[in-house]
């Protein structure tokens, strides 16, 4: 099995991956697929919003306080009237539902992942 399209290390280094803490998780009732609106604190980089289709594996209240990894420089994606500012990273479980990438130790919000 091969990995997807190869990119250079320079191309990869252009992706700004940062650590943030989820402060709010609200049902995104306007979304076509079940989702949450997540407010994430990136420390000195401010608080950003993201839409995440993670309702199968996570209850909204259990997301509060979790540190996650996000791509922060991919631009804004408009979903209806909502602007998703960062992409929360995860991978699909055996049923195709997203599991968040998390840290095993708490670190400063806004820390660069490299």
Predicted local confidence at residue 36, as pLDDT: 98
- Reported pTM: 0.92
Predicted local confidence at residue 60, as pLDDT: 97
Predicted local confidence at residue 4, as pLDDT: 81
For the CA atoms of 8, 13, 14, 16, what is the dihedral angle to 10 degrees?
Answer: 140
Q: Model confidence over 9-55: pLDDT tens digits?
A: 999 899 999 999 999 999 999 999 999 999 999 999 999 999 999 99
Concatenated DSSP letters for the chain? ---SS---HHHHHTS-EEEEEEEEEEE-TTSSS--EEEEEE-GGG-EEEEEE--TTT--HHHHTT-EEEEE-SS--EEETTEEE-SEE-EEE-TTS-EEE-B-SS---TTPBP-
Predicted local confidence at residue 67, as pLDDT: 97
- The CATH H-level superfamily of 13-100 is Nucleic acid-binding proteins (2.40.50.140)
Q: Model confidence over 59-105: pLDDT tens digits?
A: 999 999 999 999 999 999 999 899 999 999 999 999 999 999 989 99
Pairing state of beta strands 77-79 and 82-84? antiparallel
- Written as six digits, the tokens of 90 are 């995860």
Check the CA dihedral 94-88-15-82 and report its sign: positive
Predicted local confidence at residue 56, as pLDDT: 95
Predicted local confidence at residue 3, as pLDDT: 77
Predicted local confidence at residue 5, as pLDDT: 84
- Written as six digits, the tokens of 70 are 């996000």
Whether the per-residue pLDDT at 1 is higher than 70: the answer is no
């Amino acid at each position: 099995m091969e990995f997807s399209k190869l990119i250079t290390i320079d191309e990869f280094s252009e992706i700004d991956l940062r650590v943030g803490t989820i402060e709010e998780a609200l049902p995104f009732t306007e979304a076509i697929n079940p989702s949450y609106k997540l407010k994430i604190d990136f420390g000195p980089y401010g608080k950003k919003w993201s839409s995440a289709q993670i309702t199968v594996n996570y209850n909204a209240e259990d997301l509060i306080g979790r540190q996650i990894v996000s791509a922060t420089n991919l631009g804004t994606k408009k979903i209806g009237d909502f602007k998703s500012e960062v992409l929360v990273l995860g991978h699909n479980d055996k049923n195709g539902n997203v599991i968040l990438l998390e840290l095993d130790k708490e670190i400063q919000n806004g820390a660069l992942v490299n």
